[in-house]
Structure 1
Amino acid sequence: MPIFDPYFVTIAVIAVLIVGLSKAGLLGSLGMVGVPLLSLIMPARDAAGVMLPVLLAMDAIAVYAYRKEVDWRVLRMMLPGAAVGTIVGWVLWAFVSDAAVLLFVGVITLLFILDALLPIRKKLEGLPPSKPWGIFWGSFAGFTSFISHTGGPPFQIYVLPQRLPPAIYAGTSAVFFAIVNTSKLIPYFFLGQLNVHNLQLSAMFIPVGIVGVFAGIFLVRRISMKLFYRIAYWLVFLLALKLVWDGFRGVFLGL
């Protein structure tokens, strides 16, 4: 599809803006729709390659903006697992389909939302984070992030129940994914995802992503915690339904 095709440009701008708002912590894990949306206008593997430099540019801004608002305890628990998940994703890159990953992430995310609705979840919220679960969900986030930049739901499954203040949540998320995305540069290069054409597209989309990040930073500091988490949970739920449907169609119907 031509780069300046109106449909191409519209889908790309919407996708990158959503990811930018998510990077600032405003839309929860809705930013993971970036690759699925771009997959409407280019192959999914190329979409992942195009998005990586854009994500890194947005990560840099988000990390700087929230550099003093980070829960390092959470990161120490999740990052070792994320490293393992990234390596596994690299090894399995040729064997795991995008549709299978989307289906798996969607099902796990739906279970997370159902769990959040149960009374026991209310008793667990606010408790100190568990290191074993941090490693587990960190590895899951690293793996799905490598395959299709869909590490948001696993990260949220572990972090959202801790009810961090919105700015702290945003800062912790920004640092976590900045480190994870940086670790993907070398594997993506050797897999051919960072070719000249993809990098040209990335350069076009980076300014759009930066606008989205700044807009999200402005809004996230002005939204109430109750409204913030209500939006986050609903968006994750709706996104999970979409992921399950798209994954099911790809795995079982071949669509």
Structure 2
Amino acid sequence: MQDPLFYAAAIPAVLIVGISKSGLGGGSLGILSIPILSLVASPSVGAAIMLPLLIAMDIMGLITFRGKGDLRNLRILIPAALVGIAIGALTFRFTSDAMLRGLIGMLSIGFVAQRLLGRSRVLPPTLPSVARGSVWGAMSGFTSFIANAGGPPFVIYLAPQQLDKLVFVGTSVIFFSVINAVKVVPFILLGLFDARNLTTSLALLPLAPVGYWLGLKLLMKVDQVRFYQITIAALFVAGCKLLWDAAGAYLG
């Protein structure tokens, strides 16, 4: 793509994703990049361009946060996410993106409201749960494939456990590294990769470490309490954006 307007939208979108992928906001801030990129490319083209960049950022994350993932949660979340991706690939042509975004938006805002209502009392950390982890893990894999919105379900499940911020980010890095790697095969089978999209991804690739570095610097400056405050705030913003997109699809 040679259009300067495309890069005017794509450059900030990639930087936002990089900041989000390094852990700030629990990964939910990445949703804000999707509408920016959608101004100059269709959602399917945007997803195909972003996936190689996400994988590059995943590699950086695996190196940076090696040994930080919570294995108990990953053993629950990853198999469930693979099921969600498979369902997403099989139903990709028939699923309403707007309806899915609206559902995740409402769940995200509802979760934030529940946390805010409980601020007057100390909420004890929850424990890993096969039942809850399977539901939210599958939802994350499904929404990641269909609508690039896998972050909110992941945060809804993991944030109440109040893990150390580096463990939280390390778990996120491993989880989404697996999701993004698995998504490559169905993307190829669905014809979402072509020479133009891959060339565009290559042109944007130098921005991936820049955005990731910015996010990492910010992450290291915030303490544990502020980290979760930012994570919940990012989830609320993401939920509002998803609802706005869904409403626009139905009303427009």
- TM-score over 0.5 for the alignment? yes
1:12–1:118 CA distance, 2 compared to 1 (3 A): same
Q: Which residue of 1 aligns with 2:14?
A: 16
5 Å matches for 1:196-211? 196-211=195-210
- The whole-number CA distance in structure 2 between the counterparts of 1:86 and 1:57 is 20
Is 2:82–2:141's contact at 8 Å kept on the other side of the alignment? Answer: yes
- The whole-number CA distance in structure 2 between the counterparts of 1:99 and 1:209 is 28
- The whole-number CA distance in structure 2 between the counterparts of 1:233 and 1:146 is 23
Deviation (angstroms), 1:98 = 2.5
1:188–1:114 CA distance, 2 compared to 1 (3 A): same
Q: Which residue of 2 aligns with 1:235?
A: 234
- The whole-number CA distance in structure 2 between the counterparts of 1:185 and 1:195 is 12
Is residue 26 from structure 1 mapped to residue 35 from structure 2 by the alignment? no
5 Å matches for 1:111-190? 111-119=110-118, 124-190=123-189
Code of the aligned partner of 2:208: G
Q: Any idea what the Cα deviations from partners look like across 1:12-42, whole Å, max 9, x if unmatched? A: 1111111101111013211122222211110
Deviation (angstroms), 1:117 = 1.9
Code of the aligned partner of 2:83: V
Code of the aligned partner of 2:231: A
Question: Structure 2 length as normaliser, TM-score?
Answer: 0.94
Aligned-residue Cα RMSD (Å) equals 1.6
Q: Return 5+ residue gaps in structure 2 as ranges.
A: none
Question: Structure 1 length as normaliser, TM-score?
Answer: 0.93
DSSP 3-state at the match of 1:96: coil
Deviation (angstroms), 1:218 = 2.6
Is 1:25–1:170's contact at 8 Å kept on the other side of the alignment? Answer: yes
- The whole-number CA distance in structure 2 between the counterparts of 1:88 and 1:121 is 40
1:94–1:162 CA distance, 2 compared to 1 (3 A): same
- The whole-number CA distance in structure 2 between the counterparts of 1:27 and 1:210 is 18
Is 1:35–1:51's contact at 8 Å kept on the other side of the alignment? Answer: no
Q: Which residue of 2 aligns with 1:108?
A: 107
Is 2:76–2:133's contact at 8 Å kept on the other side of the alignment? Answer: yes
1:31–1:190 CA distance, 2 compared to 1 (3 A): same
Deviation (angstroms), 1:120 = 8.9
1:68–1:185 CA distance, 2 compared to 1 (3 A): same
Q: Which residue of 2 aligns with 1:53?
A: 52
5 Å matches for 1:34-113? 34-113=33-112
Q: Return 5+ residue gaps in structure 1 as ranges.
A: none
Q: Which residue of 2 aligns with 1:247?
A: 246
Is 2:51–2:180's contact at 8 Å kept on the other side of the alignment? Answer: yes
1:97–1:206 CA distance, 2 compared to 1 (3 A): farther
DSSP 3-state at the match of 1:27: helix
Deviation (angstroms), 1:48 = 0.9
Deviation (angstroms), 1:121 = 10
Code of the aligned partner of 1:109: S
Is 1:54–1:202's contact at 8 Å kept on the other side of the alignment? Answer: yes
- The whole-number CA distance in structure 2 between the counterparts of 1:126 and 1:233 is 15
Size of the aligned set, in residue pairs, is: 251
Q: Which residue of 2 aligns with 1:219?
A: 218
- The whole-number CA distance in structure 2 between the counterparts of 1:66 and 1:100 is 35
Code of the aligned partner of 2:224: M
1:118–1:218 CA distance, 2 compared to 1 (3 A): same
